[in-house]
Amino acid sequence: MDAENGIVGFCFLCKEYKEDSILTCIEAEMPATLNALVETRESSDREETGYWCSECCKSFSNHKAASQHFERIHGPDKFICDVCPKTFKSRAQLRNHQKALHTSGNQLSRVQCDICHKWLKNADSLRKHVYRHQTSGDPHICDVCGKSAPNSVALQSHKMFAHRKTRSFECTICNKAFKRAFTLREHMTIHSGNVLYSCPHCPKTFNSSANKHAHKKKVHPTEWQRSRKEYESKFLRERPESATTIYSVCDNAMRPRKPFLLLGVLVIWVLMTYLAFMRTTRLSEPWRDNRLMEKVEHFEENVKSFTNNRETLYRDIISILRKQYEHRPSEVQPLKPLITETTARPAFQRPDVLQPISVAKDGQTIDAAAPALPPDTDGQPDADKVLSKFQQRYINNDPAFPVIPVIVFACNRISVNKCLDDLIRYRPSPEQFPIIVSQDCDDEPTRNTILSYKDEVTLIQQPDQSDIPVPPKEKKYKGYYKISRHYGWALRTVFRQGFDSVIIVEDDLSIAPDFYEYFLGTYPVLKRDRSLWCVSAWNDNGKEGLIDTAAHDLLYRSDFFPGLGWMLTKDLWDELEPKWPKAFWDDWIRQPEQRKERACIRPELPRTRTFGKVGVSNGLFFDKHLKYIKLSEEFVSFTKSNLTYLVKSIYDEAFLKTIYQSPVVTLDELKRGIVMTREPVRIAYHTKEQYKRATKSLGLMDDFKSGVPRTAYRGVVSFFYNGQRVYLAPNANWKGYDLTWS
């Protein structure tokens, strides 16, 4: 800041104040500017220097401090209050003024738009928002991020540059690419040295229109405000209301294409007239109605014929296989049937409902159920193998009624009876849902508890009870090695029987009344959509207060593998079996190499709940989280519901549109209950720290597995808070999960 702004330089060599723009120092014997005099003085004597304010005579040690003092104390006001006409020299003074006079609860008073009733943070935001209403007749909303644009051209530009990342303009010198032509033009000034913009109020020049605008707003606020009002009044006077956008587009961009536009409108009008009048009259003719009914009847006959042919085909296959078996040489002993007939069951008896058998007292088990898989099947005839597997897949050989075994994994909990009681109580059909208990650990009391259910369940025992070699550093994790070995053996054993899918249940789970209905209803979706790989009855955030307790039928897709009551198909097992891990199978299955960007189906209200506090993985975690899980108590007929919305192609479009059209609120606003709407809202996060802070504050699970948050789909976690749907979501241009977040 020179003398013209009140800063006086004092030269200690000639003992004089230097105020003119061009000065002469007697001691230096040369004309110079104030800065040159200071440099001359500093080179000769750095101990004696001084700057004085001509307004208050305050002294400073350097030029910068003196300039800052003059701007702060004696300079012009640069900041204008949005509410009242007061002006201030610093942003801090403006902020203190607004807090003191224009706030409610230490926050700037929010204002509402009278046109669309949207709430804005302050009067300045309202002014800009109303200006958009004045320059656009119809709303132009981005369907990706929800941002509004003043016209269709601006909306198209926003989508192209903000979401498609189009960079069509490239510098011929340094090959740097830009979104817009004027940005390239401004960039070229770096290479050419030309000046594009200049301030109309001072000699300062700029190579960027943004810098010029910021300069005018900061240094010349009064002139900037006046010019902006003049522009707005002129714009609205010449092109009022919604005609502005249409006029500008037609007048500039579309003028050469007016004849084509008129021709297109004429063609569309003719077609609409034809469809509205001529087409309606012709279709109402009786002979056309009769022809349509004939087509419908013909289609019904084809469907019935197809159904009858399919049933006939199944019967023929069964007959052929049985004849092959009956005509085998007598020296081949027929395989003993897997199940014996019993009168305890009603009319229909499935071959895969396994019955108890007796074993001598010197054996391991008395009155044990027959094993689901014979110890050795190598000698079994091929035809019998095919017949056995074919018959076990469907009820009455109908693929619409698959047989889905429920495998209960047990070890040494005698409380397994609670789990089995629920499974038997709510089971709609023993033939369709045979219960197979697979026991490890060789615990006698637990085995006796299982055997007490007799023919209601089938017991199979993991035969390998040998000690597992574990690395020295992982001795304390030996239990996880045994669990993984047990799961691998049981799944291999059951799937070898030919089942198409199985439901996995741990021995410490309670189930909801519609547990079986839930899996039966989602089974067709799981088989149809290759982007799905499991159906789970569990919700990791299923605590009361975080879920909508009235949304019993609400289901989601989830990138996070939930477990705890889940269904998988034989196709998935065939993929996982060759590389089944030695330990920590649940963490292993969540890795990207296994998940392959596939998802699971999960419910809003959990259909399972754990009661096992003691175990390999529980303990303190049970007291802090698991015991608060809310189990659904209402029966939902999922088999009669249309669940095609869970198919990826349908789900993703609706899901993303719902998320990113929801208004954004802050964590503090949600916690304090000052959200202005009861519609779904969104909390944005950009870093791992922001996510963990939000989840801990709201009571959600905050951990990651292979970079995936619990219950998340495409990074979005859906939950309920204070009776309102909330989405904790990343940016709309989310690129995928980050493994470093685990």
Alpha-carbon distance of 341 to 347, in angstroms, equals 11
- Provide the pLDDT confidence category of residue 334 given band limits of 50, 70 and 90: very low
C-alpha span between 162 and 110 (Å, rounded) = 28
How much is the pLDDT for 698? Answer: 94
The candidate with the shortest Cα–Cα distance to 515, out of 424, 611, 409, 393, is 424
Q: Which residues pair with 571 in a beta bridge?
A: none
Tokens in use for 358? 């007796």
Q: DSSP class of residue 110?
A: P
Of 116-130, 585-599, 606-620, 698-712, where does mean pLDDT reach its minimum? Answer: 606-620
The answer to whether the beta carbons of residues 595 and 533 sit under 8 Å apart is yes
What pTM value is reported for the model? Answer: 0.52
Domain ranges of the chain: 3-74, 87-250, 256-284, 285-332, 355-507
Per-residue pLDDT band at 346 (split at 50, 70, 90): very low
Nearest 5 degrees, angle CA 52-CA 57-CA 58?
Answer: 70
- Each residue's pLDDT tens digit, 294-315: 777 777 777 667 766 766 776 6
388 vs 630: which has the higher pLDDT: 630
The model's confidence at residue 242, banded by pLDDT at 50, 70 and 90, is very low
Q: How confident is the model at residue 565 (pLDDT cuts 50, 70, 90)?
A: very high
Which amino acid makes up residue 591?
Q
- Bridging pattern class, strands 356-357 and 368-369: antiparallel
364 exposure class (CB count in 10 Å sphere: 0-12, 13-18, 19+): exposed
Instruction: Report residue 480's pLDDT band, with 50, 70 and 90 as the boundaries.
Output: very high
Instruction: State both tokens at 34.
Output: 């104030």
Q: 735 to each of 176, 344, 739, how far by Cα in Å?
A: 23, 58, 12
**According to the model, what pLDDT value does residue 254 have?**
46
586 labelled catalytic: yes
**What is the rounded CA–CA span in Å between residue 39 and residue 17?**
15
Q: What is the rounded CA–CA span in Å between residue 482 and residue 469? A: 10
Is the pLDDT at 600 greater than 60, yes or no? yes
pLDDT, the chain, mean: 77
Residue 510 has pLDDT above 50, yes or no: yes
CATH code for residues 87-250? 3.30.160.60
Residue 2: the pLDDT is: 47
* CB 497, CB 388: distance < 8 Å: yes
Query: Residue 33 above 90 pLDDT?
Result: no
Q: Which class does domain 355-507 fall in? A: alpha beta
Can you tell me the distance from the alpha carbon of 541 to that of 547, in angstroms, rounded to the nearest whole number? Answer: 8
- Residue of 77, 82, 455, 586 with catalytic role: 586
Cα-based distances in Å from 658 to 663, 669, 684: 10, 21, 14
Residue 392 CA to residue 740 CA, distance in Å, equals 45
Which 3-state string (H, E, C) describes 46-70?
Answer: CCCCEEEECCCCCEECCHHHHHHHH
- pLDDT of 618 above 60: no
CA separation (Å) from 603 to 237, 344, 555, 582, 708? 57, 36, 4, 30, 18
Instruction: Out of 80-89, 179-188, 648-657, 693-702, pick the least confident.
Output: 80-89
pLDDT score at 337: 35
Q: Looking at residues 474-493, what average pLDDT do you find?
A: 92
Any idea which of 23-32, 146-155, 423-432 has the lowest mean pLDDT? Answer: 23-32
Q: What confidence score (pLDDT) does residue 307 get?
A: 65
Cβ atoms of 559 and 708 closer than 8 Å: yes
pLDDT tens, position by position, 40-75: 444 444 444 467 777 777 787 787 788 878 777 877
> Which pLDDT band, with edges at 50, 70 and 90, does 176 fall under?
confident
| pLDDT above 60: residue 380 | no
Q: Assess contact for 654 and 556: CB atoms under 8 A.
A: no
- Helix-helix angle 286-326:382-393, to 10 degrees: 140
Q: What is the pLDDT of residues 255-284, one digit of tens each?
A: 556 677 788 888 888 888 877 766 554 444
